[in-house]
């Protein structure tokens, strides 16, 4: 397999490994020409553990595909040989044992694509995950996750990875973290998920200053629209953000924290506890309930995305009730803030250029937000007329 650009080239920048590099055999899925997943061929038990650790397990279909890939490990002869990447030694220096193999997940094309390495002992024990930044965006996300893991100690209803080590290697950020229990993945409607989301929303709540939070949000939106290549979307987002901030300033919102990307593929329910990973979007100073909205929206994505915002608003009262959010206008305001955050993120990350399905926010998301803002303005003007 010839090293490629981006996430793959970050681990194997050339075809000329160092003379003392260990060379291993991997299976590339779905193909050697477009690898999204590399699984070691030996030892077999470690191969299966690496595969299951790196594959999506959130649906029956995803689990069936994993089992097909597991069968392929045993029978295929189309393996590729690759030297250990230079960063592997640094990753292993944060672990206690030295008898390891590893698999690598690259994922589909998207702006935040980066290598995720699953470290497995040759005896078949999943020991750690390592994330490796490849550019400015992914470096920022990896560093943010390292910081987030340090803030999340002591939560009672949620299990988060343990920070094992982090730093910079060859100009890019890396993070080594422990695995968390993931025997039962998904279960988005579980009461354990709701309890965990409510607890995360309370992290740092006592230190949130609403005026400061709104100012920080405005600056964040400013930065996002400045970096977006789409001038029309920039103008729409900035106007919508200003209107939302004015409404939020006088609203009875509860503020706190959120995971930032709480979806079925980033969590598992084990009894009364919820395991959650991928904390690279964690943030404080946001209205409570964003995580519940994000989990709902990402769970509804299907062949069409045009109706997603309307579905979210229709369910906002129910989804936000556990967070103490008042139904009606307040819940609508929280849902709008979340969708603005999502739109800003896609523009900031330039997900359209990366080929992400939801990246075309000017087609499915911004028009809906414009209508909601117009309706809110009409209601406000109607109240002013009645009061006068």
- Tell me what pLDDT residue 3 has: 42
Q: What CA–CA distance (Å, rounded) separates 365 from 306?
A: 8
- Tell me what pLDDT residue 281 has: 94
- Tell me what pLDDT residue 226 has: 59
- Tell me what pLDDT residue 184 has: 61
Given a cut of 60, is residue 259 above it in pLDDT?
Answer: yes
Residues near 363 by beta carbon (within 8 Å), at least 6 away in sequence: none
Q: What is the pLDDT of residues 298-326, one digit of tens each?
A: 988 765 677 899 999 999 999 999 999 99
Its pTM stands at 0.87
Q: What is the pLDDT of residues 283-302, one digit of tens each?
A: 998 999 999 999 999 988 76
More confident residue, 345 or 189: 345
3-state helix, strand, coil in the chain (%, to 5): 50, 15, 35
| Mean pLDDT comparison of 28-32, 255-259, 299-303, highest-scoring range | 255-259
| Mean pLDDT comparison of 1-15, 325-339, 353-367, highest-scoring range | 325-339
First to last CA, the chain: 73
SS3 of 125-169: the string is CEEEEEEECCCHHHHHHHHHHHHHHHHCCCCCCEECCCEEEEEEE
Q: What is the pLDDT of residues 201-255, one digit of tens each?
A: 999 887 778 877 787 776 666 665 555 566 677 778 888 888 898 888 888 899 9
- Tell me what pLDDT residue 190 has: 85
Nearest to 260 by CA among 275, 280, 237, 277: 280
Structure tokens at 186: 């998904």
What percentage of residues in the chain have a pLDDT greater than 70? 80
Given a cut of 70, is residue 69 above it in pLDDT?
Answer: no
Q: Residue 359, Cα to own-chain centre: how many angstroms?
A: 15
**Residue 4 confidence class, pLDDT cut points 50, 70, 90:** very low
**Residue 11 confidence class, pLDDT cut points 50, 70, 90:** confident
**DSSP one-letter code for 280:** T
- Tell me what pLDDT residue 60 has: 63
Q: CB-side exposure of 258: number of CA atoms within 13 Å?
A: 24
Q: Residue 90, Cα to own-chain centre: how many angstroms?
A: 24
Cβ atoms of 81 and 25 within 8 Å: the answer is yes
**Residue 63 confidence class, pLDDT cut points 50, 70, 90:** low
Q: What CA–CA distance (Å, rounded) separates 258 from 199?
A: 10
Point out which residues pair with 206 in neighbouring strands: none
Q: What is the pLDDT of residues 83-122, one digit of tens each?
A: 999 999 999 999 988 899 999 999 887 778 899 999 999 9
């Amino acid at each position: 397999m010839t090293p490629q650009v981006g996430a793959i080239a970050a681990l194997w920048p050339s075809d000329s490994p160092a003379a003392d590099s260990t060379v291993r055999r991997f299976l590339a899925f779905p193909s050697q020409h477009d690898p999204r997943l590399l699984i070691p061929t030996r030892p077999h038990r470690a191969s299966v553990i690496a595969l299951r650790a790196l594959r999506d397990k959130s649906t029956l279909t995803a689990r069936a595909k994993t089992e097909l890939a597991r069968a392929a490990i045993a029978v295929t002869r189309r393996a590729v040989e690759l030297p250990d990447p230079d960063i592997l030694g640094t990753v292993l220096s944060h672990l206690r044992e030295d008898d390891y193999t590893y698999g690598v997940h690259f994922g589909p094309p998207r702006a935040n694509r980066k290598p995720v390495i699953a470290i497995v002992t040759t005896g078949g024990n999943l020991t750690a995950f390592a994330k490796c930044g490849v550019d400015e965006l992914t470096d920022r996300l990896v560093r943010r996750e390292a910081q987030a893991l340090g803030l999340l100690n002591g939560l009672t209803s949620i299990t988060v990875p343990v920070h094992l080590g982090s730093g910079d290697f060859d100009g890019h950020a890396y993070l080594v973290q422990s695995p968390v229990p993931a025997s039962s993945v998904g279960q988005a409607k579980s009461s354990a998920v709701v309890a965990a989301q409510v607890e995360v929303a309370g992290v740092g709540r006592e230190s949130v200053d609403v005026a400061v939070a709104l100012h920080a949000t405005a600056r964040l939106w400013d930065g996002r629209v400045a970096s977006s290549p789409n001038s029309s979307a920039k103008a729409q987002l900035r106007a919508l953000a200003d209107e939302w901030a004015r409404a939020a300033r006088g609203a009875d919102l509860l503020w706190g924290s959120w995971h930032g990307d709480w979806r079925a593929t980033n969590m598992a329910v084990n009894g009364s506890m919820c395991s959650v990973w991928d904390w690279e979007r964690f943030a404080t100073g946001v209205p409570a309930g964003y995580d519940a909205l994000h989990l709902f929206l990402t769970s509804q994505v299907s062949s069409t995305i045009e109706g997603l915002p309307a579905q979210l608003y229709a369910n906002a009262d129910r989804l936000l009730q556990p967070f103490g959010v008042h139904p009606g206008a307040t819940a609508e305001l929280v849902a709008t803030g979340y969708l603005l955050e999502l739109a800003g993120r896609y523009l900031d990350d330039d997900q359209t250029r990366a080929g992400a399905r939801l990246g075309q926010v000017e087609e499915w998301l911004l028009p809906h937000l414009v209508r909601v803002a117009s309706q809110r303005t009409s209601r406000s003007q109607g109240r002013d007329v009645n009061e006068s």
